[in-house]
Structures are given as C-alpha cells and as structure tokens.
Amino acid sequence: MALVLGGGCASREGQGRHQYPVPEMTIAISFDDGPSEKTEQLLAVLRENNVKATFFLVGQLVENNPEKTRLIFTEGHEIGNHSYGFEGLGKNGKAGEAAIRESLRATSAIIKETTGKEPVYFRAPNLDYSDTLTGVVKDMGMSLIGAGVSGRDWEADISTEEIISNILGAAKDGGIILLHERHSGDTERTIRAVPVIVHELRLRGYEIVSVGELAKKKGVSPEAGIRYDSIGNAMNGRADNTPPLKESYINQFLIGNVMSPGETGTPRFDILSRHFNVITAENAMKPSSLQREKGIFTFEQADRMVDAVLAQGLKVHGHTLAWHQQSPDWMNHEGISRSEAMENLSAHVKTVAAHFKGRVISWDVLNEAIIDNPPEPADWRASLRQSPWYKAIGPDYVEFVFKTAREADPGAKLYYNDYNLDNQNKALAVYNMVRELNEKNPDTGGRPLIDGVGMQGHYRLNTNTDNVRLSMERFISLGVELSITELDIQAGSDSRQTDRQLVEQGAVYAGLFSLFREYAAHIGRVSIWGLDDGSSWRSAASPCLFDRELKAKPAFYAVLNPVSFIAENSIKLIREAKQGEASYGTPVIGPNPDPLWNNVPALPVDQYLMAWQGASGTVKALWDEKNLYVLVQVHNAELNKASPNTYEQDSVEVFIDEDNQKTSFFRKDDGQYRVNFDNETSFNPPSAGTGFVSAAAVREKSYTVTMTIPFKTIVPAADSFIGFDVQINGASAQGIRQSVAVWNDTTGNSFQDTSGYGVLKLIKN
Ligand code: XIL
C-alpha cells in the first residue's frame, strides 16, 4: 500500500479529489490522556478532516484545562472518563474500591461541571481492568471501552508509518481505534498519522465516528459494566456482551433455547439465562434418556438441569413423552401386543409427567406423529406415521397418550409437536386431528384435551413465511395455544457462511419474528434449537443466532429488532440478477440439436433449492424476431414421470418475462413452459402453449430439450433484455420431486412471481 503522509491528499481539498465509496462499515476513533498542549492541534486536524471522535480525558487535567475541555465538547466530540489522576485502578494498581470510586466520581463530576454532560463511557488507564473496577463502573452506569484497534502510539520508537499500519491492519467493522493526544514520545507522529488513517479507511468504505455514534449505528445500547472492545456488529459482540434477547419479547411470549445437563453451571448457562427465559432439554428428557431399561427411571441428570434452570428463574418445557425416535426398543418393539404397549406407554408417561409435575410449564406429549405432505389430510388417521406406537396400538394411541398425560400432570399445558408444519397438507392433518380430539374431549381438567400445537420450525433460507403464517392462522383458529418450539434456519454448508448468507439468514429470522410479534397474543413460546452453530444438531448449516465463538450473528440482531434489521439490510438483500446472452439465429428444432447451437454460450442451471442435489444442467438461448429458442441439457437424472403433478416429473421449465419488468405476479408478457424428458408439455398460463414447439432426446441419465417459444407481446430488438430463468425438476425413484436446480431465481416462486428471474441480453453478431 502506498501511504501518503502529511495533509496533502487527505486534507479537505484532497478529499474533494477523491470519490470515497458509500460507507458500508463503521469504526470509532478515540484519543486518550488529554486535555494537553496538543489539544488544539489535534482538534484542527479532526476539523479539517471532518471527523468526530471520543476523547477519554483525565479528571485532573480537565480541572486544569477547562477551556480546552469545553473546546473539545463544543466541536462536537464525545468525552469519556479516563480516571482522575491516571492512577492504576485495575489488577496492577494499588487503589482500593473506595479510591477507585472516588477517582471515577471526581472525573465524571468535573467533566459534567465543565461541559454540562456526564460521561457514559469509561476507559481504564493502561486498559488495566479488574472485577472491582468493573463493579464500580457498572454502579456509575458507565460502559467500559477497550481498544480493539490500537495504534500502539505510546511505544517509544514507533514511527508514524507503523502507527498507521497498526491501525489499518486491525481495522474492522464495529472496531474502536485507540490513539493518544499526549504520550511520552513525540505526540506529533500520532497527529500526522490521523489524516492518513482517516483517508485510507474512507477509501475502504468506512465511516469514522465517535464511540457513542458507533453504538447508535449498530443499534446497540451499551450496557453499564460491560466491556466493549468493538461494538455490536455481527462479527463482534460476544453473546454475553449483547443486549438480552428476552427483553425484546417481554409481554409478548417466552423466548427459549435448549441445553444439556452438562451445561449447568458453565459460562454457556450464563449466556442462556442472559438471553432466554425458558429451557427445553435437547435430549435429557426423551424416553431413551429417562427409561432406557424397563422400570428403571434415570432422572438424576435431568433433575440436576431442571433444578438449576428453575433456580436461575427460568422456566422449563418438557420434551418429549412419546416419539418414534430416541425411545428404547423394549417399549414398543415389533410384535408387542396392544395391551402391553399401552401399559408401557402409560407407565412411562405417568411416571415422567408426575416426576416433573410443578416444575415444567408444558409437555410435548406427542412428537412427530403425522407423515410428511400427507396426500389425504382430511383423514388424519390415514395421515399418521406408521410408528412403533401406531403399529402396536393403532390410531387411538394419540388420544390415549394425551389423556394419560393430563391425569398425571393436570397443571402442565399439553402440546402436539411436529416439523414441516409450514406444509399446508401436514398442517391440515394436524388441525383435523386436534380439532376432533378436542371436540370429543372438551372438558379434561376443565379444558379441551390438547392445549397447544408446537411448530418445530426447522427452516431454511427458502422457507416461505406466507406458508408459516397460513399454518399459524389455521392452528390459532382451533383456539389452542401456539408455540414455535425448535426454530433454526439453515444457511450455508461445511460450517461456513458467506456474508450474504449471514444477512439472508437474518432476514428470514426477522421475517419470522415480525410474524410472531403479530400473533403474539396466541403464542406461548418461541424456542431456538441450539445456542450456537458449533453445538447445533445441524452444525454444518450454521442455523443459530450465535457463531462458533459465541459471537452474535446478524441473525441475533434480526431477532433482537426485526424491523430495524430489515430496514438496515434491505439494500444488501437485493439480489443482483445474473445476466446471460442469447445469440441471434433460427435453429431447426428436432431430436438432434442444430449445429447453430455450437457457438452459443451455455449458462449453468445448478443452484439447488431443496436439500437433495439431483439433476442439473446447462441452458443456451437463440433468438429471432418471432421466437426465443432454448436448449436445455440435463444430466444426473433418474428419469421418472410417475407423478400426476407435472412439476414432480423429471422435466425442465423455462420462465420468460418479456418486458423484464420483474413483477411479483404474472402479467400477459409472462409465461412458464414445462417439458418433461418424454417431450410432454404443460404451460402457465395454459394459453402460453400457442405456437410452442419442443423436442426431447434421452441418453441414459441425460436428456436434452429444445423449445421454440413465440414472443407474445414484443418484437425483440438487438441489445434489449428479457427476464429469463430455467428450472430443472428431479424426481426420485418413487416419482416425488426431490431436487430443483435453477439458473438464477432461488426463491422457488418463479411460477407466479417474475421478480427473481435472471436477465437475458439479446445479442446480434
Ligand atoms: C435432536 C437433537 O438436537 C440431537 O442432539 C439428537 O441427536 C437428535 O434429536 N425434532 C425434535 C428434536 O423434536 O428432539 C430433535 O433433537 C430435532 C428434531
């Protein structure tokens, strides 16, 4: 990096010559140890460069230099407390608690007297902190400020260049720069470094502000007694530094997380209790943990955890009494008689529910009893999973287990809990089941049998919140309580997340929590499944609010304040559409591709929308004044067209938005064209089929589709753009769609919304 020293290019005229990028990052700058004989000189440099900083002032020097102190303040800088006589107040100092208190008090008092404003930030001399000092700072309502980005300008032989490179090397979004307006060496080397640092940081896209302004920008209200080396950004802010999540949801619903007995009494438990007010045992209260051997109940671990959680003032939710997983084989093995299975179920439920009676607020009585995407949701019995309990007892095990639980602990709210309840068929089956059982049992202990429905909420980036909303409304209409019981949002793979994925994940969390706030009157609890990405059951997909180092991710801030998260990130969330080119020419459409295609660039259709990564391929496009011609080559397909739903068959779909207006709904220039590997076609709207011609050719696990798609509303010209996308549907051997790959639009909504399409430029020669 070429560094330019001196005023020159970084002076105000200099800035005029430079086009700084629009800042996307914020960093704070602070100067310690003043006021001094250098104050005016430093203030002039800051003024010239249009920077507002934080000055940590020494009380005694404030007392001796009231004019300089006032000048700092009236020029718009922020003033912090830096002790009274720069005495050692921390671990290395001799000051006792009373002396510490007096030093801080006197300093804040003189600053207030001089400027009219009492400081809210404290930085310890030599960054020497101790618990006693921290306690005093907390009592005084101040936050502790460290120095994440230090110039080390106090070092004896350090040069201006080294100060600059120390800062530029450590700079990061949310960081706090430490420099000195006075130190034992040549203070002017610091003052010379300032314009260069400011200029270089602005070139990199930083806005340079005071500590208070940084906190504001990051939406963090610094807390008394907490030390900040950097503030509030996704990448910093440890879980135990961040504002308590639960306070954002007071009077709305409980907010929870999971833990294991081993975490009792650890720092992780402190973090859990800082942010959450209800705990679910991730595994410790499941049947296999509590009654691995028939008749031998092992409550020790769970008890230890539950009692610690209660002692901390948090609530406990019980998970789970009956499930097809994590249950010992003896309970409901193949061939067991109905009566023996019922005895086993009732003994387990009675003993466990009675044991925790009074200590849990609610139970997941039955977990995951309905199959995925049931074809006949109106018949909930036919939608029941063929689980061991079902096979041994039959569909009435559902009612039986709830009745048994109600008797054993009439005080606990009884929940039915399941995943994928954003699937409308599954939600409908659950709805029908709960409705029937509650109508049949309107008064068990003064109320209907099932108190609540738990939507687990294991979601992904393409989860559609509209479906979550529909299901929530459906369950609320039953008059039961609703809880979100195991929320996590997968984003990324291999334990890595791109910056974009972090923000997109935050956006999904924000969208969901906005929804939850809307329905807060009906929601009992929202629990996240996992404190941090490292401990999550879906660790590789980084689904939690905290990262592996327990730092708050964008997702955390999204939950803390969904509205401001969306407002602050909306620009970043606009996805740049991919752009491809269509060449000019009129190919012959037939089973063997016209040689004209050879020179057309291929675009990849390889972004997957579902967990399974099946068929993918490439697409090429040609155009003339009448038609768009499309060639899709698909590989890795297990060819299957058994499903009556054409989109579930191995097929390709082309989406066209002729005027490239990216509307959120289809207009007359928009169309969807589907061709399966057998050249069977379907269209949306159906009229889009007029004049359409296609051919398909299969070779082992590959197939090729060519199409002639007449333009409906435009006569295209060279160098114009149309909205365009391609989707490859991959069917499983059972004929169910298990994989979807696209060129650009990852919303999964291309069939009704053109806003996510890529763009095709029509090239002539
Ligand atoms: C998971 C736990 O998180 C894992 O530690 C364990 O190995 C398997 O179970 N739905 C549920 C939870 O109801 O109990 C599951 O928890 C996740 C899916």
pLDDT for residue 184: 81
Q: How confident is the model at residue 213 (pLDDT cuts 50, 70, 90)?
A: very high
In this structure, are 219 and 155 located in the same domain? yes
3-state secondary structure of 288: helix
Question: Residue 401 Cα, ligand 1 centroid: separation in angstroms?
Answer: 21
Q: How confident is the model at residue 4 (pLDDT cuts 50, 70, 90)?
A: very low
Tokens of 341: 């299975």
In this structure, are 195 and 265 located in the same domain? no
**Quick check: is 648 catalytic?**
no
Please report the atom of ligand 1 found closest to the CA of residue 485: 13
Nearest CA to ligand 1 atom 5: 537
Buried b (16+ CB within 10 A) or exposed e, 738-751: bbbbbbbbbbbebe
Catalytic residue among 181, 207, 486, 532: 486
- Is 237 part of a structural domain of the chain? no
Are 353 and 412 spatial neighbours (Cβ–Cβ below 8 Å)? yes
pLDDT in tens, 48-83: 999 999 999 999 999 999 999 999 999 999 999 999
Please indicate whether residue 527, judged by its CB atom, sits closer than 6 Å to ligand 1. Answer: no
What is the average pLDDT across 600-614? Answer: 89
Residue carrying structure tokens 């006075």: 182
Output the DSSP codes for 409-473.
-TTSEEEEEES-TTSHHHHHHHHHHHHHHHHH-S-SSSS-S--EEEE--EEETT--HHHHHHHHH
Catalytic residue among 229, 418, 657, 658: 418
Stronger pLDDT, 92 or 522, i.e. the higher one: 522
Domain range for 749 is 579-762
Q: How many beta carbons lie within 10 A of that of residue 463, not counting itself?
A: 18
Residue carrying structure tokens 């009592």: 139
Q: How confident is the model at residue 232 (pLDDT cuts 50, 70, 90)?
A: low
Rg (CA), the chain: 32
In this structure, are 289 and 251 located in the same domain? yes
pLDDT for residue 498: 84
pLDDT in tens, 579-589: 999 999 999 98
Stronger pLDDT, 361 or 86, i.e. the higher one: 361
Question: Ligand 1: which of 257, 283, 415 to mutate, judged by most atoms within 8 Å of the beta carbon?
Answer: 283
In this structure, are 327 and 444 located in the same domain? yes
In this structure, are 512 and 592 located in the same domain? no
pLDDT for residue 591: 79
User: Which of 171, 200, 228 is the last residue in one of the domains?
Assistant: 228
Question: Residue 490 Cα, ligand 1 centroid: separation in angstroms?
Answer: 15
Please indicate whether residue 486, judged by its CB atom, sits closer than 6 Å to ligand 1. Answer: yes
**Quick check: is 418 catalytic?**
yes
**Quick check: is 486 catalytic?**
yes
pTM of the model: 0.56
Question: Residue 283 Cα, ligand 1 centroid: separation in angstroms?
Answer: 7
- For residue 317, the domain's CATH number is 3.20.20.80
pLDDT exceeding 90 applies to what percent of the chain?
Answer: 78
- Distance (Å) of CA 214 to CA 54, 78, 137, 208, 467: 11, 12, 20, 8, 38
pLDDT in tens, 642-657: 999 999 999 999 999 9
Are 729 and 652 spatial neighbours (Cβ–Cβ below 8 Å)? yes
pLDDT in tens, 118-164: 999 999 998 888 889 989 999 999 999 988 799 999 988 899 999 99
pLDDT for residue 714: 95
pLDDT in tens, 293-312: 999 999 999 999 999 999 99
Please indicate whether residue 643, judged by its CB atom, sits closer than 6 Å to ligand 1. Answer: no
Residue carrying structure tokens 């009956």: 322
What is the average pLDDT across 497-508? Answer: 90
Catalytic residue among 32, 173, 181, 368: 368
pLDDT for residue 423: 93
User: Which of 504, 534, 568 is the last residue in one of the domains?
Assistant: 568
3-state secondary structure of 299: coil
Question: Residue 536 Cα, ligand 1 centroid: separation in angstroms?
Answer: 10
Question: Residue 537 Cα, ligand 1 centroid: separation in angstroms?
Answer: 7
Nearest CA to ligand 1 atom 13: 367
Please report the atom of ligand 1 found closest to the CA of residue 419: 10
In this structure, are 365 and 483 located in the same domain? yes
In this structure, are 484 and 535 located in the same domain? yes
In this structure, are 118 and 166 located in the same domain? yes
- Is 529 part of a structural domain of the chain? yes
In this structure, are 609 and 513 located in the same domain? no
Question: Residue 282 Cα, ligand 1 centroid: separation in angstroms?
Answer: 7
**Range with lowest mean pLDDT among 6-15, 250-259, 361-370:** 6-15
Q: How confident is the model at residue 7 (pLDDT cuts 50, 70, 90)?
A: very low
pLDDT for residue 238: 66
Question: Residue 736 Cα, ligand 1 centroid: separation in angstroms?
Answer: 26
Tokens of 65: 């230099």
With 60 as the cut, is the pLDDT of residue 5 above it?
A: no
Q: Is 496 exposed, middle or buried (0-12, 13-18, 19+ CB in 10 A)?
A: exposed
Are 55 and 204 spatial neighbours (Cβ–Cβ below 8 Å)? no
Question: Ligand 1: which of 280, 327, 417, 486 to mutate, judged by most atoms within 8 Å of the beta carbon?
Answer: 486
In this structure, are 629 and 719 located in the same domain? yes
What is the average pLDDT across 103-121? Answer: 97
Total domains, the chain: 3
Angle at 694 between CA 692 and CA 696, to 5 degrees: 165
- Is 480 part of a structural domain of the chain? yes
